[in-house]
Amino acid sequence: MAKNLATDMAPPFILVAHYFIAGAIFYTFSAFLLPFYANEVNGYFLSSSIASLMHLYLLGFVMMTIFGAMYQLVPVVLEIPIFSKDFAYIQFYMFVCGILIFTFGLWDENYTQILPYGAILMYVSMLIFVANVFLTYRNIIRWDIVAKFIFVSNLFLFIGVTIGFIIALNLVYGFYPDVVKLVQMHIATTIFGYVIMTIMGIGMILLPMFSLSHGFKQTAIEMALYTIIIGLLFFMAGILLNISLLKFGGVIFTTFAIFAALYQMYLIFSTRIRKQNDFWAKNMMASFATLIISFCILAVGIITKNDTLYLLFGFTLFFGFFTFFVVGHIYKILPFLVWYQRYSPLVGKLKVPMLNDMIHEKVADTQFWITLAGLILAIGAISFKTPLVFQVGTMIMGIGTLLVIYNIYYTLIYGIDELENYYKENPSS
């Protein structure tokens, strides 16, 4: 599997690095903004200020990193090159500009009028991504479970960003009165239809590869694919038709799909050869644990109709599950890409490092425990509505993001001096 990731059909490393580095910067920026949202602990979970931060984090960190990973993995999964690398570069710069303009317009009510401009940039950039993926699918030969997940998730991405674009325009021009319906469908299609489904799909590539697992059945993940599609369609139909039973059925199907996917991940972990709990394994276990916790919180929130629990659900999902899953895989994917570009031509000529050597393991472990401690404090602060504790917890989480940045830098510069000396001594290489 590791060999497949090095295929010539994958894009240049610099393209993927654009997305990963930008994602890490947005992650750090979002984390250090969190303490300033301490008073929102007692507020409404759909406020514009929270929406600004959530979009900065979700779009800037989570989706930016996913886009970079997709440009690397889609050619591998489909066994054909991505349709256009130029599209990917154009998308990147439009996406960054769009995020900054859009989130600032949400954050400061005095600049609401710039929202449509940021929304247009983000919308077009995501359409470029979706078009790039779908045009790549034209020549697909093998429709395995991962290919299906990626295809369907991009359909939901198209629906979700279209709804999001309409919401952004509506915030300025006010042409549709029931904006809550649109927000609910936007959240369902982007977070569950795209982000969660994409994580399910790429998890079937990355988890077996990094844990050296094999021989497991895929029945659970196949069931998860179809039930989450049914769940999302039921949920949206319930919103459009104002039928609570359909919405509830959608929630049940979607929840079942997520727990089926979690069971699939358990099967993968139970067959792994690599049993030690390194920094990647710790991040994966924390991500799955926080995912389960977040859905338990959501279930109680739906029953009690408690806004605080909705806020707690979103915080635990975003800064728990998404953070641990994405950061854990950055620690694996980035070293491999750097190794392949920098060291693969020198195998047999020079002593090359192992992938784990290209991550500062003590820093990664420290970052994990700091992030986890900060997250627990922040979750407790939201639960008991204590802004001061929330500030302390999120500041601790911010320190963790700096350690992630350090490790990314450590990987990018790893061995550069030694290689420069080698090439000076061996110019023919």
Per-residue pLDDT tens digits for 205-231: 989 988 888 888 999 999 999 999 999
- Where in the chain are the domains? 156-268
Which residue numbers in the chain have pLDDT < 50? 1-6
Give the model's pLDDT for residue 4. 44
Crossing angle of the two packed helices 13-33 and 48-57, in degrees rounded to 10? 150
Q: Which long-range contacts (CB under 8 A, 24 or more apart) does 179-187 make?
A: 180/46, 181/239, 181/240, 183/46, 184/239, 185/160, 185/235, 185/236, 185/239, 185/240, 186/160
**Rg, the chain, Cα only:** 21
Q: Which of 34, 66, 25, 39 is nearest to 53 (CA)?
A: 34
Give the model's pLDDT for residue 213. 86
Give the model's pLDDT for residue 211. 83
Between CA 188 and CA 51 the distance in angstroms is 15
DSSP-assigned letters across all residues of 280-293:
HHHHHHHHHHHHHH
Predicted TM-score of the model (pTM)? 0.91
Buried b (16+ CB within 10 A) or exposed e, 328-337: bbbbbbbbbb
71: enclosing H helix or E strand: helix 64-78
Between CA 228 and CA 240 the distance in angstroms is 18
Give the single-character DSSP code of 353: P
Give the model's pLDDT for residue 109. 81
Give the model's pLDDT for residue 1. 40
